[in-house]
Amino acid sequence: MATTQSADYDISKYTDRVSLWSNDPNAHLSGYFTLYYHVESELTPTKPDTILGDIYVRQAPNKICVLGLSPSHPFIVSSSSLNKDDLKKECNVVLATELVGTKVTYDTTIAQIIVGQITYLIKARMQGQLLELNPRLKDTPELLWEHTMDTGYIAVIMSRVDDTKQQLKGYLTEEEYNTSLAEKKSE
């Protein structure tokens, strides 16, 4: 019934674009999201034996925010030197599922990663409605350190306001973050 028109795709239009993706399998996500980072201030008070760290937020054009651990997050940094099989066994991801569907604020703890005695607290770091906590982290926590920037995301939050400057106040752009990392390295 369907007329079989043969594919007429002209890939030369796209070869430049995709060659930028060769080094980073997540580079294509920039077509769907804008990447921001929240750097945790050292002065933020924390409970004993808990650690806060930097997070990233990918924001879509419809203002939905996808939150995850940034490469500079202490958990990610420490995981790089640990045995991955052991880490998978010892790592316990606790998601605040009771908060899904409710409004969260800057200080709301939406998830915890417990490794031995250390608890990493993941806070919303924005105001909005918590739409989802990544259910796959429970059984496959390795997504956190193997796919930190894509399928290992932690939460999906709906922006309270449309204006990104207000919604993600204090966040760094990708460029600013990379610059600050480079500066830290050279220190």
Partner 1 sequence: MNLIEELRECLRISGLHPEPEQSIAVGLHIARLLRDVQCCYRCCLRFTRCNKMKIYKASEQDLQTAFNSLAKLLDVKPVSNDEEVQVASGCPACLGALGWMDQPENIQGIFDKIDTENYDCKRVNLNCTMPVSSLHRSHLLGVYVSDRLSDFPPSVLEIWNSEPVHDPKDAFKAVISDKLVERYGWTMDPVTAPLRMTIVLDHLETALEHRFLTQVKEPVMKLRKVRQNRKSIVAGESRTTITEALAALSKEEAYSLTAIPPLPPTTQITLADVAMVHESTIVGGRYLKMSREYSQTPWEIKGKRLAEFSVSEAIEEIIKRYHRCDNSKFVTAGREDANVRMLGTGRPFYCELINPRKPVLADEEYKKIEDEINNQDSKDAVQVRHLCKISPSDTKIIKEGEETKCKSYRALVWISQPITDEIIEKVNKVGSAPFKIQQTTPLRVFQRRSAAIREKEIHTCHLERVDGASLSGVESQFGVLTLNTQAGTYIKEFVHGDLGRTLPNLATLTGAVGADLIELDVLDVDLVWPPKK
The answer to the question of residue 43 lying near partner 1 (CB under 8 A) is: no
CA dihedral 159, 107, 180, 25 (to 10 degrees): -50
Nearest-angstrom CA–CA distance, 122 and 177: 19
Asked if 126 interacts with partner 1 (CB under 8 A), we say no
d(CA 160, CA 29): 23
Number of residues that bind partner 1 (CB under 8 A): 37
Q: Does 182 bind partner 1 (CB under 8 A)?
A: no
Token code pair at residue 155: 């939460």
Q: Which of these, 152, 106, 149, 150, lies nearest to 130 by C-alpha position?
A: 106
Asked if 127 interacts with partner 1 (CB under 8 A), we say no
User: Closer to partner 1 at the Cβ: 32 or 106?
Assistant: 32
Looking at residue 4, what DSSP letter applies?
-
Among 37, 120, 145, 153, binds partner 1 (CB under 8 A): 153
Which residues of the chain form contacts with partner 1 (CB under 8 A)? 1-3, 5, 7, 9, 11, 14-15, 18-19, 21-22, 25-26, 28, 31-32, 60-64, 66, 100-101, 131-132, 134, 136, 143, 147, 150-151, 153, 156, 158
